[in-house]
Amino acid sequence: MIEVRGVGQRAGGGRRTLRDVSLTIESGELVAIIGGSGAGKTTLLDAIAGVRPPAEGEVRFDGEARVNGDARVNGGAFGYVPQDDIVHLEMPLRRTLRYAAGLRLPSGTPPQRAERAVDAVMDALALTERAGQRVGSLSGGERKRASIAVELLTRPRVFFLDEPTSGLDPATAADLMRLLRGLADSGTTVVLTTHHPPDVAVCDRVAVLTQDGRLAFYGEPDVAREEFRVGGIEDIYLRLAETEPHEWEGRFGTDAAPAVGPGVGAFGQWALLARRNLDLLSRNRLTLAVLAGSPVMVLAMFAVLFRPGAFSPESPSPGATVMILFWIAFGGFFFGLTYGLLQICTELPVVRRERLTGLRVGSYVLAKVAVLLPLLALVDALMLGVLRGLDRLPAMGWGTYAELFVTLLLCSLAALALGLLVSAAVTDPAQATMALPMLCFPQVLFVGAILPVPVMAAPGRWLSYAMSNRWAFEGLGHSLGVERLWGSGRSPLGPPLLASYGDTFGRAVAADWAVLAGFTAVFLAGTCLLLARRT
Ligand SMILES: Nc1ncnc2c1ncn2[C@@H]1O[C@H](COP(=O)(O)OP(=O)(O)OP(=O)(O)O)[C@@H](O)[C@H]1O
Ligand SMILES: [Mg+2]
C-alpha cells in the first residue's frame, strides 16, 4: 500500500509544480495519473517512486518511508520506467536485457533461468524479432517497450511507468495495458501516467491533476466521468481547461506481491557492471578513439619535444629533465582525468533508474575504476617504455622503473577519481568538457615544476599541496635521483644547478604514494556521496 500525504514539489525557480497531493494506492491496484501537459504528472510519479523525493509531505510504502539503494529494495521490488526511454543505445537488445537481468534478478539465479526470463519478456512485449538489433536503431515504440521489458524481468512489487503507451499504436497500447492489468491482478501495484483516454478505462483508479499541480479528483474512472459530468475521459481535459484550476480543489473527496529474494550483492553488482562497462566501451567507437588516440598523440609530441640524453652528465640539461618529469606526470594525470570525465554524466539517468532497483553507488563507481585502471596501466607503461626506448629517460634498473610506474599509475588513478567526481557533479557532457581546462590549469601552474614551490607566493605554495600532480612529479624526480644529479652541493657537477627547487625531490617516494592514494580515496568517496545524493 502506498500512502501519499500532502506532497508538494517546487521547480528550479521556486515555482510550485505540485500542491498538497494526498492519495492512497492499495496493493495490487492499477492507477493512472492524468492531466494536461505540464500539469505535474511526471513530477508526482517521481515523488511517489522516490526518484525525486517531495519537498513537502511524505510517501509511505506499507507504512514505511523507503531509501534508494536499500537492501530490502534490492531484488526487484521496485520498477521504474521513465518518460524518455533510457537504456544504453549502443548495445543489442538481448544483451541489454541480459545485463539488466543480472542486476535485477535475485542473486544465485541460474543463467538458464535468467535467459528464460529475457526470452519471456521479449515475447510478452513482441520484441523477439528485434533481439539482435542495436537499441539505438529500434523504432520509438519498440524502444519504449524495450525500456518496459527491462523492468519486467523481475516481477516488481510496485511498478511505476511514465507514459508507457505514448508512441504506441492503439492495438499495441491496448496490449500493453492488458499486460499491466494482468500484473496488477496478480498482485503488483502499478502506477502510470498517460495521455490516452482508453488506458484509463482498464485502471482501478484515476488521479486527475489540474494545470497547476493540484489533485482535482482521485477515484474510480466511472465516478470521475460522473463527477466531471462528462461522457468520456477525454472530455475531462476539456472541462479542466474551461475552469480555473483551484475551483476543482476540494470539490471531490479523496479516499484515503510476489516473493522477492535478496538482490545481487555488492561484489556481484560490481562484477556485472564492470563487464557491462567493458562491453559498452568496446562498442562506442568515439570513446575508443579518445582512449587510444590521446595517449598516442601525447606520446608523439613528447618524443618530438624532448631531446635524447637529457639526463646524461656528459651533456647536462637540468631544466629539461625537470620538464620531462613534469610532463610525464601531467600526461598520467591528463589520461586519468579524460578517461573519467565522461563516464558518469553520460549515463546519469540510467544510474538513477537502476538505483531504484537496488544499485549500490559503491559498486557502480568501483566498476568504472576496474575497467579504466588496467587501460591506464597500459598507457602509463607504454609511456615510460617508449620514452626509455627513445633515450628520453635514462638507463636505470628495473627497480627504478617499477617505482616510476607505480608513481605514474597512482597519479593516473587519482586523476581518474577526480574525473569521476566531476563527472558525477555536472549535468551533461558539455559541462564536463568545459571543466577539463579548468581542472588542468592549476595542475600545471601549482605543481612546482614550471615555478618551483620554494619561490612561489605563499597562497600558491599552500595551493600546491592540493595538486595531486605535485606529488607525482616529486616522486618521479626522487626515483630518478634528480637531486643527486644536479641538486644540492653533493652534485658531481659541482655547484647546485637546481638550487631554486630546494629539497623538492628529497622526500621518500612512499610518502608521495600515500598522498596520491589519499587523494584517490577522497575523490572516490566524494563521487559516491554525490551520486547517492543525485540519484
Ligand atoms: N527540473 C525542473 N525545473 C523547472 N521546471 C520543472 C522541472 N521539472 C518539471 N518542471 C515543470 O513542472 C511542471 C510539471 O512538469 P511535469 O514533467 O510533471 O509535467 P507532466 O504533467 O508530466 O507533462 P507531460 O504530459 O508533458 O509529460 C512543468 O511546468 C515543468 O516545466
Ligand atoms: Mg511527463
Question: HSE (CB half, 13 Å, CA atoms) of 343?
Answer: 32
Spatial contact of 76 and 263, defined as CB atoms under 8 Å apart: yes
Q: How far is CA 191 from CA 160, 207, 232, 310, 337, in A?
A: 5, 10, 21, 70, 41
Closest CA to 20 of 42, 38, 50, 40: 40
Residue 257 has pLDDT above 50, yes or no: no
Query: Is residue 259 over pLDDT 50?
Result: no
Domain boundaries, the chain: 1-73+192-264, 266-534
Q: Which three cell numbers stand for residue 414?
A: 587519482
Pocket-testing residue among 7, 9, 15, 17, ligand 1, by greatest number of atoms within 8 A of Cβ = 17
Q: What is the pLDDT of residues 294-337, one digit of tens each?
A: 899 999 999 999 988 888 877 777 888 889 999 999 999 999 99
pLDDT digits (tens, 9 = 90+) for 372-424: 999 999 999 999 999 999 999 998 999 999 999 999 999 999 999 999 999 99
Q: Is the pLDDT score of 204 beyond 70?
A: yes
Mean pLDDT throughout 52-68?
80
pLDDT of 192 above 90: yes
**pLDDT for res 495:** 55
What's the fold here for domain 1-73+192-264? Rossmann fold (3.40.50)
Q: For the purposes of burial, counting CB atoms within 10 Å of the CB of 496, is it exposed (0-12), middle (13-18) or buried (19 or more)?
A: middle
Q: Output the nine-digit C-alpha cell for 24.
A: 492512497
pLDDT for 360 equals 92
Q: How far is the CA of 53 from the centre of ligand 2 (A)?
A: 16
* Averaged pLDDT for residues 199-211: 93
**pLDDT level of residue 128 (50, 70, 90 thresholds):** very high
Give the confidence band of 248 by pLDDT, cuts at 50, 70, 90. low
Of all protein residues, the one whose alpha carbon is nearest to atom 29 of ligand 1 is 38
Q: 3-state SS of 263-288? A: CCCHHHHHHHHHHHHHHHHHHCHHHH
Q: How close is the Cα of 55 to the center of ligand 1, in Å? A: 15
| 146 contacts 82 by C-beta, under 8 angstroms | no
Give the distance from CA 468 to its chain's centroid. 24
Q: Is the pLDDT of residue 258 over 80?
A: no
Enter the pTM of the model. 0.80
Buried-exposed string 43-56: b where 16+ CB fall within 10 A, e elsewhere = bbbbbbbbbebbeb
Give the mutation target among 42, 48, 161 for probing the ligand 1 site: most ligand atoms within 8 A of CB.
42
